[in-house]
Chain A
Amino acid sequence: MKATQKLELNIALEFTRTPGPRKRSEGKYSGEEFLDTLLRPKFLSATSIGTILHVNLDGAAGYPTSFLEEAFGGLAREFGPSEVDRAIELTCEDEPYLVDQIRRYIREAKIIK
């Protein structure tokens, strides 16, 4: 697959620079809101055209673990860890450890039937 075919998602630019809690009921810019409004639709678009979704995590104030788990773990619970792991590419130059952390959340997610 060519790099130019990737679908881009920049969290700081397209969603918020100050990510929030896990659920909508716990505050603004939650992982649940991010999953519903951006991550899932973009993931579906990417998989429908057979390309990779490139998620850029740079430029944000920080990511609470609950936010990341709800968004990426939630996506993996919905579509399967292997499918999500394969279709998403992550970059974070500010905090490189976040990439491994998210990969772990994706791999540890169990599909909800």
Chain B
Amino acid sequence: MHFAPDGQIVKKLIVGEKWKRHLKARSRYEEKARKRFRSHREERRVLALRSTFGEPFRKTVRLEAPQVFSLIGNPDETIGFLNNIISTARHHKNVSVDLSAVETITPDAVAALLATIDWRNMGRAQVSGNVPRQEAAKEFLENSDFRRSVHSVGGYIRKRQMGKIIKSTSGRETINSRFHQEFAQQLIEFATSTLTANKRRFHPPSYSVLGEAMLNTFNHAAGPNESRRPWYASVYLDLARRRACFTFIDQGVGIFKSHDFAARWRMRFKLGSLLSLPNNANLLQRLFHGEMPSRVKEPGRGNGIPGMYEHCVAKRIRNFSVIANDALGQAEIEQYRLLAKPFGGTILYWEVEYEGDAEA
């Protein structure tokens, strides 16, 4: 017989019915304790979710998209529709996105819809939806890469990938760095390799615009006490017009509600021109033309948006447009106007024209 140093019999040598019964009883007890712990933990998790988001939603509201679903072409109705989606979810209702009546759809609207139904805006609301009845609009949506970011019921077949959508996020997902060169390059390569047979797969002006847009989002889009804001970038290939349509969306506070911008410029303009107070459309125009220095008190700042505008004036990019809060600026036609409904964030849209050597 073996003895442990303290004089007790070593456990492994104890055999017999009594010991086996003891082990069985202990195992039953431990299993019960584990179950109790698991159910308690689950209960706590559910309680935490309910205290954050409230009870699970029962009611679903159907929201109908406008016939012309385009931020640049029909901004007032489209922004109103997107805002409705967010406010419905915030009122603890599920959302059914009805795209059936859509006849015209543009790439900027697809990216904006995806950004809108992001989990940050939707909370616990469930989002479902359908596709346009009109065949061309349906095909546009299905080829746009939208389906890759949402769950689809069976039977959906993408005929051809004509678009690419990339998302960068913060919060519970990780940011590696503020400027994702590889994301910018992926979008550009997708466009150039499909639209041209040219092996040179760069488009420096678009790379520059994407880079500046990412940096603006990370440096200015979040509110004073908020974490970094996510962004969506997309490209869609318009074969008929031989153009690549780029969209960059951040759902931050928007240029004109950026705390630094508001503090620095709003008061200055209020004091300086009480009789003709410039609205956000006027401010956007000044921003395009480089007449508003950066709020960052460091030399050499504030070249981002004026640089994009210069690319458009020189026709290196086409139809450069910006929606920021309640202002829309279209550089190519020099049109700046106020919108009926403000967009929560900033949208940049531009096109790149490809000529000659077509592959598609």
Whether the Cβ atoms of B300 and A62 lie closer than 8 Å is no
Whether the Cβ atoms of B300 and A69 lie closer than 8 Å is yes
Whether the Cβ atoms of A61 and B207 lie closer than 8 Å is yes
Given A28-B177, A60-B204, A62-B206, A77 contacting B215 (CB threshold 8 A): no
- Report the minimal beta-carbon distance from B170 to chain A, rounded to whole angstroms: 14
A14 at the interface (CB under 8 A from B): no
Which among B177, B203, B208 is the interface contact of A27 at CB below 8 angstroms?
B177
Q: How far is the CA of A70 from the CA of B211 in the complex (A)?
A: 14
Enumerate A74-113 residues with CB–CB distance to B below 8 Å.
74, 77, 94-95, 97-98, 101, 105, 108-110, 112
Given A18-B185, A21-B178, A64 contacting B314 (CB threshold 8 A): no
B332 at the interface (CB under 8 A from A): no
Q: How far is the CA of A110 from the CA of B182 in the complex (A)?
A: 33
Which residues of chain B come closer than 8 Å to A73, judged between CB atoms? 299-300
Total number of A residues with any Cβ neighbor in B under 8 Å: 34
Which among A64, A69, A101, A110 is the interface contact of B211 at CB below 8 angstroms?
A64
Whether the Cβ atoms of B211 and A109 lie closer than 8 Å is no
- Starting from the known contacts A27-B180, A62-B211, 19 additional A-B residue pairs (CB-CB under 8 Å) come to A18-B185, A20-B181, A20-B211, A21-B211, A26-B177, A27-B179, A28-B181, A61-B185, A62-B208, A63-B204, A64-B207, A64-B208, A65-B212, A65-B303, A65-B307, A67-B211, A74-B300, A95-B205, A109-B299
* Interface positions of A (Cβ within 8 A of B): 18-22, 25-30, 60-67, 69-70, 73-74, 77, 94-95, 97-98, 101, 105, 108-110, 112
